[in-house]
Amino acid sequence: MAIEIDLSGHLALVTGAAGELGRPIARTLARCGADVAIHYHTSREKAEKLLAEIRQIGVRAMTVQADVTDEASVLAMREAVAAKLGSPDILVNNAVIQYDWKSILDQPVADFESQFRSCVLQTVLMAKAFVPAMIEKNFGRIIVTNTECALRCWPNEGAYAAGKRGLDGIVRVLAREIGEHEITVNQVAPGWMISDKQRLPHVERQPAYEKNVPLGHRGEDQDIANAVAFFASDLAKFITGVYLPVSGGTVMPGI
């Protein structure tokens, strides 16, 4: 008997769905049968294009704009999604604020604050907004995008690593707090994945990075989407609190 991921009857909300990793995540969840709410902050055109693609798959979908670091905006997003599609039982916290990486001594304090807001605070606000409905259903899947950088801690990664390490802590606490309601909370930690940003200018190969990857090459954005779909499915119903690197072995959490 073949094992399949069937998310029919579920509704997924993907933050940052118009971004490089968000697009394949949203498409993959839709191909597994889930209805999808496509969140964006400023990338409306990309979100609308993705919406057209997902509707062709045959599931329900919508776009929704919000600032995931602002409580009022997150609550407004909850109401907009509920009015059109219902209450999400799959939540993918994927949005992150982009900034220029510099050494800790040169990095503006505002960048440390932005990473805290888009990593830690986003997860707190999204949980407050959407977990109560999951508790009522006695079912939920929360998947959060972390990064290999949280363990790697290389130069110029200070603000990013700090935000994502804080995210790791809040996610593990949340997993313990709401597990009794059959809600799982897991993290997917990408390496430097190949996405459309590299495919279009044909810069997929990065020898300096690849030499530190045990598998010898970079992964694809679809690899991240596959991990998210797994965590969203019943195949992972007894897995929670996990930090899963999808990085070809660049980081290997110890025991």
Catalytic option among 40, 99, 160, 209: 160
- Is residue 1, in this structure, part of any structural domain at all? no
* Alpha helices (H) along 2-137: 22-31, 44-57, 71-84, 109-115, 122-137
- Is residue 164, in this structure, part of any structural domain at all? yes
- Is residue 251, in this structure, part of any structural domain at all? no
Distance between CA atoms of 194 and 5, rounded to whole angstroms? 24
- Is residue 51, in this structure, part of any structural domain at all? yes
The total number of structural domains that make up the chain: 1
Domain span at 56: 11-245
pLDDT band at residue 137, thresholds of 50, 70 and 90?
very high
Would you state the pLDDT for residue 198? 75
CATH number at residue 209: 3.40.50.720
CA distances from 206 to 146, 150, 155, 203, 211 (A): 21, 21, 18, 7, 9
- Is residue 151, in this structure, part of any structural domain at all? yes
pLDDT digits (tens, 9 = 90+) for 215-255: 999 999 999 999 999 999 999 999 999 999 999 999 999 88
pLDDT digits (tens, 9 = 90+) for 12-67: 999 999 999 999 999 999 999 999 999 999 999 999 999 999 999 999 999 999 99
Would you state the pLDDT for residue 201? 66
- Is residue 116, in this structure, part of any structural domain at all? yes
pLDDT digits (tens, 9 = 90+) for 76-89: 999 999 999 999 99
Is the pLDDT reported for residue 205 higher than 90?
no
Catalytic status, residue 40: no
- Is residue 5, in this structure, part of any structural domain at all? no
Q: What is the pTM assigned to this prediction?
A: 0.95
Distance between CA atoms of 100 and 240, rounded to whole angstroms? 33
Q: 72 is written with which tokens?
A: 């009022």
DSSP at 191: -
- H or E stretch including 141? strand 140-145
Q: 52 is written with which tokens?
A: 């057209």
- Is residue 161, in this structure, part of any structural domain at all? yes
